[in-house]
A and B are shown apart, each in its own frame.
Chain A
Amino acid sequence: MVRGTRLPISVPAKRNKQALKLTRWIGLGLFGSWVLIALFGPLLAPYPMGAFVSDTIYGGASAAHWLGTDYMGRDMLSRILTGARYTVGLAVAAALLSSLVGAGFGMLAVLLPRWLEECVRRVFDTLISIPSKMMALVMVSAFGTSIPLLIVAAVLSYAPGAFRIAHSLATNLATLEYVQVAKTRGEGRFYIAAFEIMPNMIQSILTDMGMRFVFIVLLLSGMSFLGLGVQPPAADLGSLVRENIGGLSQGALAVIAPALAIGTLTIGANLLIDSLSKSRDTQKE
């Protein structure tokens, strides 16, 4: 019986599974804690967000101020706990909307008459050719910055990508026989899109949405860093980095902490998405 075991038999599935579990838990831990902070952060904050609580500026970590103080002597921990809400909330809203718009059009476009499909595709192609940050900057300078406008800018920048992915997935699915069966049954476009095509691509759409979330976090943080994002007295993670940029030369915790916060949020989201899409691949086999 033992003889067979000396063969070069490929059993990589097991080893990958261990690694997969680990990244999933790390990703889930990081991302989940940021979601919890976004929800309950303000309740946990030891001081009010805007209160001047210390005389030292750019103070280091201490028992009273775990993450030190910022350029005006405010408690950094409280500011991050409160500010995370803007970053996570805005990005989630914008990611959901861009996937909804992109995937919705992507699926419907497949079922539209040829010329209309081409028109929809050209519109999205035009949008995708504009750099996202440039588009956001132009919109902010034209209409002034506000939270709804930031969301619209993010959606306009990232929905075209979601459209591309959804459209190519749907094109493949639409040629399958069950879609043709539905067509010869006389089903309408919306039924085919929503019940025949969508359930078979929802996983990929969700993975894509996770990626868009990461991009949008970076876009919004970038906008805030330029001073064009969320405006004071409110502050998201990007604005926290910008406010305290003066402390960079001293290596102040006030600038490192929010930067790390953005890093852990995006890395956590990435790890989670990665492990989810990979475990789906192994399931398929």
Chain B
Amino acid sequence: MLGESLTVRDLTICATPPGGEERTIVDSIDFSLTPGEVLALIGESGSGKTTIALAMLGYARSGCRIAGGSVQLGETDILSLNATQTRALRGHRVAYIAQSAAAAFNPSRTLMEQVTEGALIHGVMSRQAAREKAVSLFHDLALPEPDRIGDRYPHQVSGGQLQRVMAAMALITDPALVILDEPTTALDVTTQIDVLRAFKQVMRERGTTAIYVSHDLAVVAQMADQVLVLQNGETQEQNATARILEQPSHDYTRSLLAAARPHAQLSPSAGERGEELLRIDDLQVGYGSRHRDGRPENVVLEHINLQLAKGQAMGIIGESGSGKSTLARAVAGLVAPSQGAIQFDRRELSTTLRGRTREQFRRVQMVFQSADNALNPAHTVRRLLDRPLQTYFDLDRSARKARVEELMDRVRLPRTLLDRKPGELSGGQKQRVNLARALAAEPDLILCDEVTSALDTVVGAAILELLAELRRELGVTYLFISHDISTVRALCDDVMVLYHGECVEAGRCDAVLTAPKHDYTRKLIGSVPELRQGWLESRPLSRAEATA
């Protein structure tokens, strides 16, 4: 057993925002772990879970201060160490695995150099020994070609592999405590399952004590022995994982659980189909120079056929790189297809923005994934909503003002927010403004590109309900792009599964998702973590791992 016990008492962390008063962001947190136990910190963004995790390294982010309490790892009181001792602790006895492996690796050095770096800095072992240790870790983490993968550079391995290499980097010094900060959040579900399995195995074998930070209860159910539920820096509930899942005692935990369960069908599927609104025939999109036959060098999407009736909602699912966003962008006119045609309301839709009429611009609206980037930070909410009204409708100032207020009511935002800028809104509020702006145009078709992906589960569920309500009341049509099967199931009538730019399966949502015909669809659906313990172990090994 390499893990050591961890006791945290009365941990309090304060933050001073620029030009503001100091306030407490983590308030008297207590927990203790026996060697080899895994604790999950769960909560929404801003609940202080990463801040607590970083305090285990004796670290507070710029502008924050550990105001009190103690962190006892084995015999060491981490918070009373001086600078030199803390440096010896970090990356040696306590290791950290970050959310984005791509950002954590230096692109100009090989993986092996970076994995062994920690061991060499702390002088724990010789270069040769560190290399051998790294190779054996690569092996345990089920990485392909464990003997040679260390010679590659970060961009030469996939995201899931890189995340596992980062785990090797953390584990090379045999740390007593490992902090995993949302290590699989940025991964596709099909990759996530392999990474989770690899993590779980190496941690079990080594008996590492670990803290797992996540917002995803289903993932936590697979990984953790204990769960600590946080809200606004305060403990809401702390218990064994099984108890949290089955008998949550706190309201907040229950709301988290409700949001994490597969959503109920939110929109009644229309009995008969309306008129055809959008039709895509044999669409091909690519980039790079064209070959002689007109085929681009890199094809992102190919052979896409799709019919969407008025008032219908179609989900497009697939993992990153499957071309699902490109499909929405092609419909919006942002990328020109190299082949195929798009018809909107029985009229040919020009492939470029230049060829479209104002009426077509108005009737097709796109809502982007990240409201942070989709709302201009320099404009107020009022201005953001007012502009489409100015562009599309002949309204005078007072009519526009009334309409803006009506839109705010429609997306359930208080009118007092109208004069704020996007930077002063929360993530959920921003996404509502983003939706309201699309609604301002009174569109027929809304292209939703991962609109709930960047949001916390509870907030995301609320946005999803709003989408369903808008559809019922306004009769808008959705092309709903998502990597999250449960949101698609909740909102859509039809679904199309994309894999490497081609449609592998399409049809009624309930039919495709309950009885998938294609292997890939089956794998995709089977990889979504379920909210019960033991799910991970019950999944069959993927083919890549079985052969490895």
Contacts and interface: CB of A to CB of B under 8 A. Distances in A.
B68 interface: yes
Contacts of A181: 366, 368, 374, 437
B340 interface: no
Contacts of B58: 7-8
Interface in A20-52: none
A63 B69 CA distance: 69
Given A1-B68, A183-B353, A185-B441, 19 more contacts: A4-B79, A5-B65, A6-B80, A6-B82, A7-B86, A8-B82, A9-B64, A10-B60, A11-B65, A12-B62, A177-B368, A178-B374, A181-B366, A181-B374, A184-B333, A184-B366, A185-B361, A199-B376, A200-B377
Contacts of B368: 177, 180-181
Contact of A196 (B63, B70, B376): B376
Contacts of B83: 8
A13 B63 contact: yes
A183 B79 CA distance: 53
In which size bucket is the chain B interface? 35 or more
Interface of B is mostly: mixed
B203 interface: no
A200 B373 CA distance: 12
A133 B107 CA distance: 42
Contact of A4 (B66, B358, B374): B66
B378 interface: yes
Contacts of A180: 334, 366, 368
A62 interface: no
A252 to B, nearest CB: 50
B540 interface: no
B18 interface: yes
A7 to B, nearest CB: 6
A174 to B, nearest CB: 12
A181 B65 CA distance: 40
B378 A184 contact: no
A7 B79 contact: yes
A184 B69 contact: no
Contacts of A187: 391
B370 interface: yes
B356 interface: yes
26 contacts: A3-B70, A3-B80, A4-B12, A4-B65, A4-B68, A5-B65, A6-B79, A6-B80, A8-B58, A8-B83, A9-B60, A9-B64, A9-B66, A10-B62, A12-B62, A177-B374, A180-B334, A180-B366, A181-B366, A181-B368, A184-B361, A185-B441, A186-B353, A186-B356, A200-B378, A285-B62
A180 B368 CA distance: 10
Contact of B332 (A6, A7, A184, A282): A184
A188 to B, nearest CB: 10
A186 B65 contact: no
A283 interface: yes
Interface in A140-199: 176-178, 180-181, 183-187, 195-196, 199
Interface in A215-237: none
Interface of B: 12, 18, 58, 60, 62-70, 79-80, 82-83, 86, 332-334, 353, 356, 358, 361, 364-366, 368, 370, 373-379, 387-388, 391, 437, 441
Given A4-B65, A9-B60, A184-B366, A178 B376 contact: yes
A186 B377 contact: no
B388 A185 contact: yes
B18 A1 contact: no
B334 A3 contact: no
A1 B67 contact: yes
Contacts of A177: 368, 370, 373-374
A177 B366 CA distance: 10
Contacts of A185: 361, 387-388, 391, 441
In which size bucket is the chain A interface? 20 to 34
Given A10-B62, A178-B373, A178-B376, A184 B82 contact: no
B62 A183 contact: no
Contacts of A200: 376-378
A199 to B, nearest CB: 3
Contact of B69 (A4, A186, A199): A4
Contacts of A13: 18, 62-63
B65 A9 contact: yes
A266 to B, nearest CB: 31
A285 to B, nearest CB: 7
A183 B68 contact: no
Given A4-B79, A177-B370, A199-B378, A186 B391 contact: yes
Given A177-B370, A285-B18, A3 B378 contact: no
A-B pairs, top 8 by smallest CB distance, nearest first, are: A199-B378, A186-B361, A4-B66, A177-B373, A177-B374, A8-B83, A178-B376, A1-B68
Contacts of B86: 7-8
A8 B66 CA distance: 10
A51 B7 CA distance: 86
A205 to B, nearest CB: 13
Contacts of B379: 195, 199
Contacts of B356: 186
Contacts of B376: 178, 196, 199-200
A67 B530 CA distance: 85
A4 B365 CA distance: 52
Contacts of B334: 180, 183-184
